[in-house]
Chains A and B, each alone.
Chain A
Amino acid sequence: MNEPRLIRGNEACALAAIAAGCRFYGGYPITPSSEIAEHMARELPEVGGVFVQMEDEISSLGAVIGAAFAGAKAMTATSGPGFSLMQEHIGYAVMAEAPCVIVDVMRGGPSTGRPTSPSQGDVMQARWGTHGDHPAIVFAPASVAEIFELTVKAFVVAERTRMPVIVLYDEVLGHTAETVALPEEVTVADRRKPEVEPEAFLPMLPANDGVPPLPAFGDGYRFHVTGLVHDERGFPSDDPAVAGALLRRLHAKVENHRSEIVDVATSHLDDADVVIFAYGIVARAAEEAVAMARRQGGRVGLVRPRTLWPFPDAEIAEAVRGARLVVVCEMNLGQMLLEVERVVAGSVPIAAVLRGDGEPIDPDEILAALDRDMEGALP
């Protein structure tokens, strides 16, 4: 480990990307994510990478996908309105299977909303924002150290699955400075390259895990990439059988890598009557609330998904087993709440602490909800 030092969330994100091997950044300035771009503009050229400030967020992700096919590990970062513009190319990256990383530092919305206030309003957009049936991989760090860790992980998963991987945190975390000891080395991954000769190469023929090997443009494999439904040759096809199989494979490959992707942190669950469900910055308040409740003798625990999508169904079901109340806390009007309700399926009552005003949730609010919704939660 390096010496601990004070690092801001957005800086940790940029440092992690470079450590993970990111050598291409295409972005467009937007509050509260701009520090990532500024850091990359400064540092990437120093390590032989490329920084380009594009004309908008659509082209930013376009350039990132182009760079990905040219062999680079590539990323972009943005916030709400920019994330909306990127949806078109998130879909393209899923369909064309371009490994890349997208960071969304959430701010208050809808629309221009409150640029300088935090929010968790984009969690469903991160899942369903782009049109069509598609899988999604989304990580939600809850601290500066986790921003570093999960950004590295985002690159690893992107390379392994040939997916656009989204890192979602909020304005407060992006601008929070925390003392972090960065690791000296990180585990990185590189996309699988084809083992066959160019003549025998079928660009969209998947390996056993459902992920096709990916050579870079210029490696001697000449192939076609398209956002249209395509067959194993990568060529457009109108065959319903091809379309159906492709869509199922895109989902299956994420499923196949589930154990590497899904990541849920828990605390104090063993004897918990009350399980708080929280993610991102809200989980920090939830941890505090758990500690306060425990001091008062309340049996309260926390489940904290670090992977939002694919949703950790089994892990959440396991975490709430035996509880008498689940409290979902999020900085929106109830988005992941719907997922928790789906998984809990009526087996445990669910309370919700929701805020849509752009102000962080504080521990007292959570405790007040426990008290309100469960007799004797806080003895």
Chain B
Amino acid sequence: MTTTAQVREHLRGWAMPHVLCPGCAHGIVGRAFLSAVDDVGIDPDQMAVVAGIGCSSRLVGYLDFCTLHATHGRAPSFAAGIKLARPELTVAVFSGDGDGLAIGGNHLIHAARRNIDLTVVLFNNEIYGMTGGQAAPTTSVGAIASTAPRGSVESPFDACKLMIGAGATFVARAAASEPYTLARIFADALDHEGLSFVEVLSDCPTYFGRYNKLGSGPEMLAAITRSDNRIAIPLAGKRSIPTIDPPDLPPGVELGTLHREHRPVFTGRAGGAT
């Protein structure tokens, strides 16, 4: 993993410090991503990162690449336009769980179906952070959010299963608490030809953590590592979850590279797929 000094070469230093909250793990994820860009040896002039709207999406402004902060949920479509029009660019998408799975769910699955050569990073913080902690399509059952004051009763998405089903050709999940693994997975994803999807567990301390009494940044990082990647376990320990008993907690989500296949990549050009 590259050092901070090296990683900083890829930052717009003049814009730092970034707007994210103290202890928000999104920065760790961004750092691991930059490290991977370096490891893979991508020319920064030929790297484009597109983001939607939300906390994670704000990160792209600090990356010294060609960066586009698009509209809520639509980043995959902008990214598709960039990649198809200029195939020599390496194009990545930073998206949040609300951004990518709620308002932008359609764009995400279609990018996967077409197998456009993009690397999509989905920062899963289980909540809408930027708008103040509303329930997201990933919020664990029982977890408190500002629009789920009695605990969320909706089932969360399994983003990786969704993307495998939609046809993504590289699907992985990692936790922000494991930056080395994260950097390796990002490197693999960037290397992969076709749509790569990486979901990163990066729970929001400011809202999700506070509403659910999970502590601040350090405690939340530790919690996710100690609990089999099940935020539901520390959740259950912290408060009574009326809807599920501890023995019925959902199993910890699987981490690592979950799916990999090779399928023709969509280019939109004569001669079709590469």
Contact = CB atoms under 8 A, between A and B. Distances in A.
Interface in A47-68: 48-52, 54-56, 58-60, 62-68
Contacts of A233: 14
Interface stretch (B68-76, B132-140, B179-187, B196-204): B68-76
Contacts, number: 148
B68 to A, nearest CB: 4
Interface residues of B, number: 42
Instruction: Find the residue from B15, B45, B267 having the highest chain A CB count within 10 A.
Output: B45
B167 interface: no
B269 A45 contact: yes
Given A50-B269, A66-B85, A71-B85, A222 B65 contact: yes
Interface in A16-58: 23-24, 26, 45-46, 48-52, 54-56, 58
B69 A228 contact: yes
A72 interface: yes
Most buried by A among B60, B114, B270: B270
B269 A65 contact: no
Given A52-B268, A224-B69, A24 B74 contact: no
9 contacts: A45-B271, A48-B270, A50-B84, A52-B84, A71-B85, A72-B85, A88-B74, A226-B61, A235-B61
A64 B71 contact: no
Nearest to B108: A55
B45 A224 contact: no
Contacts of A50: 84-85, 267-269
A310 interface: no
Interface string A222-239: 111111100001011000
Interface residues of A, number: 48
Interface of A: 23-24, 26, 45-46, 48-52, 54-56, 58-60, 62-72, 74, 88-89, 92, 96, 216-228, 233, 235-236
Interface in B76-93: 76-86, 88-89
B85 A227 contact: no
A216 B88 CA distance: 12
